[in-house]
């Protein structure tokens, strides 16, 4: 007899229209779709063509009409400001409608872009939902990005309005946002008409006359806005992800497919129902924040938590247990990095005993591969299922997971379990042919991608084709390498490009190399991600100085570290760089980053046949040992 998972998975591939029609019926439509899956313009597939919807209506107004108006929709928990605020669906709807009126008063119309550069405060959620309410396209930029990175996103999205705050708050410091925003607007070629600023009491921002407007003042005089119906295929948001060239790519998410898929995942993957408390301990600047702080839980009718704090230090390594206990969280979704930090501070898990976790049922981890040690620690200490799942900014939701609301499978350490219904995952060789079970290759997804994934890049169809569809015709390239075993378990082993995962944040080493190369004394450089016990990966830089440079290399190294911090931001976690005489290269001039990484990560490696000079690898071992990676002791295959 076919198992529940197998039945759903097979139907999703055999009859995608029939499969996705059922969860679509569970949403509100002003007009039903003409076609569930429009494949008339391959490979640009579109879901629910002809349908008319509003994502904000489905996330807020629909629940109020169905009797959930007084249920808590959003809990803002901020240990850094000693604040807890709760908003019912009715209160959140009213604030969202009011701010949608503010945006309309500033000239924002359906299809216009609004950029949000925000800390983890309720206004960030309200701002996103307000854009969705009036059919504007929001683009949230993580508050840790520096002015230059913010400017590139302003230039691409060309927002009519930018919404920001006077500051963000870290454990021991206040981070002024407004000077970064002002600098970004100064260097950007696209200029917003208005900026709306949340003035936080911890630090007020200087306001520019006629351009900057105070959130509270504008809210007080605005007229609430009603929902604007939009096409299911219209864009809901743009979210920028690091490109391998260092140029950010604007991932587009549509309204209809996104709404249907995310609402479905709440039960199918996370096993939560309307009324349950769900917590994604991420940031609204990342895809997890979009999908599972804001949209997924609210579309399902769950209570969602917006947490402005850290896993440790606010005040201690029991912070997560306090939130789970106090708010009766049923499911937590966070990055393995958070648990590595907690484990480092409280290895025995003693702080867990201080809290009542009886409502807590499942821990979900994603953002980078969950190492077996962290998985075992979490299982042992929490005594609940610990589910690793795999997805990307581009996909919007999990490609592979242990679908707890369909059928729970045994966990295999190092695997995010099996492909989720809708995802035809295959492992391909260099000729686009599937490999046999257990063999490593390029993890790829046979088209069409399910709803809720990226239909294209913002104003860049060609970039979409080149980045994701060209290398393996008929497939989406995940740029991850791995294998699928005989039982269908997927194992994600590494990136196949130069995007690295630093504490769950995807960052481009190419962008960091551009900064290093900009230093007047640097002739060439390489940045690569090496394994790190806490963050998963951290970037390490190597610089070759120009001939004739007589300055102290240590001083130059300090300068390039500061340059990366200034231009990309502290989120890059770029702290380690060393000067070398030369970099290992192929005879064609390609830097052997993969070989350097293997030496640093204590992995066996072959001397590539194409290497220009094998002796250079010995020099790299010495350099790596100098910065704390014991390359000299490593063995070749």
Q: How far is CA 550 from the centre of its chain?
A: 42
Portion of the chain with pLDDT greater than 90, in percent: 71
Confidence band for 41, pLDDT divided at 50, 70 and 90: very high
Handedness of CA 628, 633, 636, 637 (dihedral sign): negative
Hey, which residues does 333 pair with through a beta bridge?
A: 280, 364
344 touches 534 (CB < 8 A):
yes
CB 509 within 8 A of CB 539: yes
Residues paired with residue 611 on neighbouring β-strands, in sequence order: 586
Residue identified by tokens 């809708």 is 422
Q: 602 falls in which pLDDT band (50, 70, 90)?
A: confident
Q: How far apart are CA 508 and CA 515, in angstroms?
A: 11
What is the rounded distance in angstroms from the CA atom of residue 436 to the CA atom of residue 426?
10
Give the confidence band of 296 by pLDDT, cuts at 50, 70, 90: very high
By C-alpha distance, which of 377, 303, 291 is closest to 338? 377
3-state DSSP of 513-534: HHHHHCCCCEEEEEEEEEEECC
CA distance 467 to 136: 26
Residue 233, SS3?
coil
Q: Indicate if the pLDDT at residue 411 is higher than 70.
A: yes
- Enter the tokens of residue 70: 């007084």
3-class DSSP assignment, residue 406: coil
What mean pLDDT do residues 175-198 have?
96
Angstrom distance (rounded) from CA 472 to CA 447: 11
* Contact call for residues 436 and 298 (beta carbons, < 8 A): no
pLDDT at 637: 39
Q: Which of 510, 424, 524, 408 minimizes the C-alpha distance to 475?
A: 424
Selection from 276, 257, 283 nearest residue 397 by Cα:
257
3-state secondary structure of 45: coil
Q: Model pTM?
A: 0.85
What whole-number distance in Å separates Cα of residue 16 and Cα of residue 36?
9
- The neighbour count for residue 546, using CB atoms within 10 Å, is 11
Q: What is the pLDDT of residues 340-399, one digit of tens each?
A: 788 888 888 999 999 999 999 999 998 777 777 788 899 999 999 999 999 999 999 999
Structural contact between residues 471 and 444, judged by C-beta atoms closer than 8 angstroms:
no
Q: What is the pLDDT of residue 314?
A: 94
β-strand 331-334 against 362-365: which pairing, if any?
Answer: parallel
Q: Which residues pair with 83 in a beta bridge?
A: 78
Per-residue pLDDT tens for 265-293?
A: 999 999 999 999 999 999 999 999 999 99
Predicted confidence (pLDDT) at residue 609 exceeds the cutoff of 80: no
Tell me what pLDDT residue 246 has: 54
Domain ranges within the chain, ordered by starting residue:
4-309+389-478, 499-633
Mean pLDDT of the chain: 91
Instruction: Judge whether 352 and 363 are in contact, CB under 8 Å.
Output: no
User: pLDDT-based confidence at 587, cuts 50/70/90?
Assistant: low
97, 430, 539, 560 from 512: Cα distances, Å: 41, 28, 9, 10
Structure tokens at 69: 């108006």
Q: Is the separation of the CB atoms in 292 and 278 below 8 Å?
A: yes
What would the DSSP string read from start to end of 295-359? IHHHHHT-EEEEE-S-SSSSSSTTHHHHHHHHHT-SEEEE-HHHHHHHHHH-TT-GGGGGS--TT
Between these two residues, 576 and 107, which has the higher pLDDT value?
107
- Cβ-in-10-Å burial (0-12, 13-18, 19+) of 174 comes to middle
Structure tokens at 300: 């399902």
Containing 25, the helix (H) or strand (E) segment is none
> Cβ(114)–Cβ(231) under 8 Å?
no
Q: How far apart are CA 605 and CA 592, in angstroms?
A: 12
| Range name among 307-321, 354-368, 512-526, 556-570 with the lowest pLDDT average | 512-526
CA distance 622 to 580: 10
pLDDT reading at 509 higher than 90: no
Residues facing residue 53 across a β-bridge: 230
Residue 319, Cβ neighbours under 10 Å: how many?
Answer: 22
Angle at 122 between CA 86 and CA 337, to 5 degrees: 100
What is the per-residue DSSP string for 252-264? EEESHHHHHHHHH
Q: Is the pLDDT of residue 112 over 90?
A: yes
Distance of alpha carbon 378 from alpha carbon 349, whole angstroms? 9
- Match domain 499-633 to its CATH number in 3.40.390.10, 3.40.50.300, 3.30.300.30, 3.40.50.1000: 3.30.300.30
Q: Which CATH number fits domain 4-309+389-478: 3.40.190.10, 3.40.50.12780, 3.40.50.300, 3.30.420.40?
A: 3.40.50.12780
Helix, strand or coil for residue 266? helix
Neighbouring residues of 141: CB distance < 8 A, sequence distance ≥ 6: 115, 116, 117, 149, 150, 153, 240, 285
Q: What is the DSSP pairing of strand 249-254 with strand 46-49?
A: unpaired
Buried b (16+ CB within 10 A) or exposed e, 261-276: bbbbbbbbbbbbebeb
End-to-end CA distance of the chain: 46
**Could you give the angle at the alpha carbon of 465 between the alpha carbons of 191 and 158, nearest 5°?**
5
Split at pLDDT 50, 70, 90, the class of 508 is low
Residue 315: is the preceding peptide bond cis (ω within 30°)? yes
Q: Residue 37's CB: how many other CB atoms inside 10 A? A: 20
């Amino acid at each position: 007899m076919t198992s529940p998972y197998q039945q759903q998975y097979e139907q999703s591939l055999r009859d995608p229209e029939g499969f996705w029609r059922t969860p679509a019926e569970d949403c509100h439509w002003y007009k039903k779709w003409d076609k569930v899956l429009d494949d008339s313009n391959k490979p640009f597939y579109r879901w629910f063509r002809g349908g008319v919807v509003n994502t904000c209506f489905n996330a807020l107004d629909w629940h109020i009409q169905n009797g959930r108006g007084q249920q808590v929709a959003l809990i803002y928990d901020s240990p850094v400001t000693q604040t807890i605020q709760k908003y019912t669906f009715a209160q959140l709807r009213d604030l969202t409608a009011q701010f949608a009126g503010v945006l309309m008063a500033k000239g924002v119309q359906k299809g216009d872009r609004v950029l949000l550069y925000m800390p983890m405060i309720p206004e960030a959620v309200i701002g996103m939902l307000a854009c969705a309410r009036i059919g504007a396209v929001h683009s949230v930029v993580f508050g840790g990005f520096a002015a230059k990175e913010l400017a590139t996103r302003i230039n691409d999205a060309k927002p009519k309005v930018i919404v920001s705050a006077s500051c963000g708050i870290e454990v021991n410091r206040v981070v002024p946002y407004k000077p970064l925003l002002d600098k970004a607007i100064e260097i950007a070629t696209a200029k917003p008409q208005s900026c709306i600023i949340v003035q936080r009491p911890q630090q007020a921002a200087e306001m520019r006359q006629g351009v900057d407007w105070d959130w509270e003042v504008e809210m007080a005089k605005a007229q609430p806005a009603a929902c604007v119906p939009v096409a299911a295929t219209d864009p809901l948001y743009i979210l920028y992800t690091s490109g391998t060239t260092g140029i950010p790519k604007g991932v587009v998410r549509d309204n209809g497919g996104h709404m249907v898929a995310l609402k479905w995942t709440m039960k199918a993957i996370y096993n939560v129902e309307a009324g349950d408390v769900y917590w994604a301990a991420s940031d609204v600047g990342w895809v997890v924040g979009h999908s599972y702080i804001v949209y997924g839980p609210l579309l399902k009718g769950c209570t969602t938590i917006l947490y402005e704090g850290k896993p440790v230090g606010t005040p201690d390594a029991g912070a997560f247990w306090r939130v789970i206990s106090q708010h009766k969280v049923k499911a937590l979704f966070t990055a393995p990095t958070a648990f590595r930090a907690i484990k480092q501070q409280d290895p025995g898990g003693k702080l867990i005993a201080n809290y009542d976790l009886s409502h807590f049922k499942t821990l979900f981890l994603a953002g980078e591969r969950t190492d077996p040690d962290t998985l075992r620690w979490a299982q042992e200490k929490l005594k609940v299922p610990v589910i690793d799942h795999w997805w990307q900014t581009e996909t919007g939701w999990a490609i592979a997971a242990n679908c707890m609301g369909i059928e729970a499978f045994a966990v295999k350490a190092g695997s995010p379990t099996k492909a989720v219904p809708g995802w035809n995952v295959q492992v391909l060789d260099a000729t686009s042919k599937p490999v046999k079970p257990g063999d490593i290759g390029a993890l790829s997804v046979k088209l069409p991608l399910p709803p809720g994934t990226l239909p294209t890049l913002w104003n860049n169809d060609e970039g979409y084709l080149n980045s994701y569809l060209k290398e393996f015709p008929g497939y989406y390239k995940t740029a991850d390498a791995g294998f699928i075993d005989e039982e269908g378990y997927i194992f994600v082993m590494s990136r196949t490009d130069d995007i690295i995962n630093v504490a769950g944040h995807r960052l481009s080493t190419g962008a960091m190399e551009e900064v290093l190369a900009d230093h007047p004394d640097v002739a060439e450089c390489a940045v690569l991600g090496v394994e790190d016990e806490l963050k998963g990966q951290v970037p390490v830089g190597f610089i070759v100085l120009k001939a004739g440079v007589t300055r102290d290399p240590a001083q130059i190294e300090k300068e390039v570290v500061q340059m990366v911090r200034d231009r990309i931001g502290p989120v890059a976690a770029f702290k380690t760089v060393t000067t070398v005489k030369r970099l290992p290269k192929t005879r064609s001039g390609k830097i052997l980053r993969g070989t350097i990484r293997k030496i640093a990560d204590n992995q066996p490696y072959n001397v590539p046949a194409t290497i220009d000079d094998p002796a250079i690898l010995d020099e790299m071992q010495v350099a790596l040992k100098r910065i704390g990676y014991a390359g000299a002791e490593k063995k070749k295959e």
